[in-house]
Structure 1
Amino acid sequence: MSGHTTEAMTPDEIDDLARRARDGDRDALEHLLGAIRPRALNVCRGVLPFLPDAEDACQEALLNIATKVGSWHGNGRFTTWMHVVALNAARSTYRRLRNQAVAADPQEVGPLDRPDPRTTSVIAGTRLDLLDAMETLERDHPKYVEPLVLRDVYGLAYDEIAALLGLPLGTVKAQIHHGRQLTRPLLRDLS
């Protein structure tokens, strides 16, 4: 497998590397991290449009993957599990950056109550007001966040989300529907 890029590796090859890494093969772990890095970075860039921020989140995601690869049970594709880890790292980085901006001198930063359209990302359908809405939803109704983000931001299929989260398909669909209803009023009108 040496010399393979992520595009050249099949999902089965990535799953095989992940199984070997999970079982303690350090070389497989290093190869796996290299193979999935571009995909993890793309997930992070979907949330964080500024490349250095996305790269920081990607590094956090790869560290989490390296230390928690044993928690992947092999029930679904490794890349789906990795997607969730990368998404969580990007959201964590976003929260940290937002908190730093709020803690900064308001005279320097400017008003934070309305997003600046120049800094509002529409990459992969993600907007900063959506991330704020997800924070509120996570605080008030946490069970809806992950299925909603996996479906509406990253476009995973309902059955793939159900397998990843270990939930019945009908439950996933209901959680996404209810999550959308709860999120809609939290989104700001930027027009």
Structure 2
Amino acid sequence: MALDETTEELATAAAGGDHRALGALLKRIEPDVLRHCERLLPYRQDAEEACQDTLLAVARNIGRFEGRSRFSTWLHIVTANCARTTYRTLKRRAAEQTSEELPEHRPDPRRVSVIAGSRLDLLDAMESLELEKPELAAALVLRDIVQLDYAEVAEQLGIPLGTAKSRIHQARKYIQSALGDAYLGK
């Protein structure tokens, strides 16, 4: 999400309590948030749900945005977290349902595209990493999803540059292993 300076200004004003700026900000970021959610979640309906959750989270938490980093960075983190939460909720609901109760909008998993299946596997791997080693997941999200450079990741996490690089490397190895296991049927 490459947001322009006007968006950054709206975010700063909204964080200061300007309700008009918040409304304008939410309207402005919605298309970008939806596109980002669609890249993370395989079904548009799920992406729309995650988008709405993200916009609600931004509205509720904009006062916590302190401007130490760019708003776009903060928004990426909020969006990724909401998309992962939506995915976990959907996964939990699916596990609770019997095969006769599966929602009709869900296609047969054997017929899901390779891309959608890969995203699901990646979300599973990210969820597992976050549960086991949240510090690695945070570094990986900032580097590979938010696309910050290594120095910015270190700054955001308040850790030395070498530690940030190490965490990202370890997280990538974990994800690679998890994805390898998924495709080998382990």
TM-score, scaled to structure 2? 0.83
Q: Is the 8 A contact 2:77 2:146 kept in 1?
A: no
How far apart are residue 137 of structure 1 and its match?
Answer: 1.2
Cα deviation code 1:69-95 (max 9, x no counterpart): 111111111011001101111100001
Q: Is the 8 A contact 1:33 1:62 kept in 2?
A: yes
Q: Is the 8 A contact 1:120 1:127 kept in 2?
A: no
How far apart are residue 117 of structure 1 and its match?
Answer: 5.9
Find the counterpart in structure 1 of residue 71 from structure 2: 78
Is the partner of 1:127 in helix, strand or coil?
A: helix
Alignment of 1:22-171 (within 5 A): 22-106=15-99, 116=109, 118-119=111-112, 122=115, 127-171=119-163
Structure 1 unpaired stretches of 5+? 1-5, 110-114
Is the partner of 1:73 in helix, strand or coil?
A: coil
Q: Is the 8 A contact 1:75 1:163 kept in 2?
A: no
Aligned-pair identity in percent equals: 42
Q: Is the 8 A contact 1:151 1:158 kept in 2?
A: yes
Q: Distance in 2 between matches of 1:164 and 1:56?
A: 28
How much is the aligned-residue C-alpha RMSD, in angstroms? 2.6
How far apart are residue 161 of structure 1 and its match?
Answer: 2.7
Q: Which runs of 4+ in 1 moved over 4 A?
A: none
Structure 2 unpaired stretches of 5+? 103-107
Q: Distance in 1 between matches of 2:146 and 2:70?
A: 15
Cα deviation code 1:41-99 (max 9, x no counterpart): 12211111211110110000000001101111111110110011011111000011111
Distance 1:122 1:146, change over 3 A: farther
1:189 aligns with 2:179: no
Q: Is the 8 A contact 2:73 2:146 kept in 1?
A: no
* Higher-helix-fraction structure: 2
Q: Distance in 2 between matches of 1:162 and 1:138?
A: 18
Find the counterpart in structure 2 of residue 112 from structure 1: none
Q: Distance in 2 between matches of 1:67 and 1:89?
A: 13
Q: Distance in 1 between matches of 2:29 and 2:155?
A: 20
Q: Distance in 2 between matches of 1:103 and 1:150?
A: 32
